[in-house]
Amino acid sequence: MALRHGLTPWSLPRWRDYITPSTLHLAPLLELLLEPVRCSRLQAQVQLGLQEALVNAVRHGNRNDPAKCLRIRRIETPRWLIWQVQDEGHGVPSPVRRSRLPDQSEATGGRGLFLIHQCFDDVRWSRRGNRLQLAVVREPGRTVLFSADGPDSPDR
């Protein structure tokens, strides 16, 4: 069996699943989720984005209900690090999934999705809107952190 990137059938990437009660006690979970990120600068960027996604899932998706759970999945491929964050809520409506800052600078919310889009190279939603997939490219010597131009910037 010929596989790309020198992988054998026994070393194919697999999803790691983490299921946790829906609380804001996120530090131990974030530590586990960040294990494959070796670059400290990239780790800070990914940590910010994952924390925003997890907090949104707890607060908005599961409505701070500790009886509900979060399901987080992580996979490492030769080119990508990918996370999926899923809550038990009704989902984020398509028009709200935008990656821009609020129109009013004094708004008390609305920056989380913008930050998430700045922290990851690829952001995708499930059709229902209660699962968010976040990915960064695994590149040796990667230097891009935050781009004011968003995910379509030539620097990303």
Amino acid sitting at position 107: A
Query: What is the per-residue pLDDT for 137?
Result: 95
pLDDT tier, 9 (very low <50, low <70, confident <90, very high otherwise): low
In a 3-state reduction of DSSP, which class is residue 45? Answer: helix
Phi/psi of residue 123, nearest 5 degrees: -130, 125
CATH class, 15-137 region: alpha beta
* Residue ranges per structural domain of the chain: 15-137
In a 3-state reduction of DSSP, which class is residue 93? Answer: coil
Give the whole-angstrom CA distance, residue 3 versus residue 145: 32
The pTM of this model reads 0.80
Give yes or no for residue 98 having a pLDDT over 60: yes
Query: What is the per-residue pLDDT for 140?
Result: 62
In a 3-state reduction of DSSP, which class is residue 31? Answer: helix
Give yes or no for residue 6 having a pLDDT over 70: no
Helices 40-56 and 112-119 sit at what angle, rounded to 10 degrees?
Answer: 150
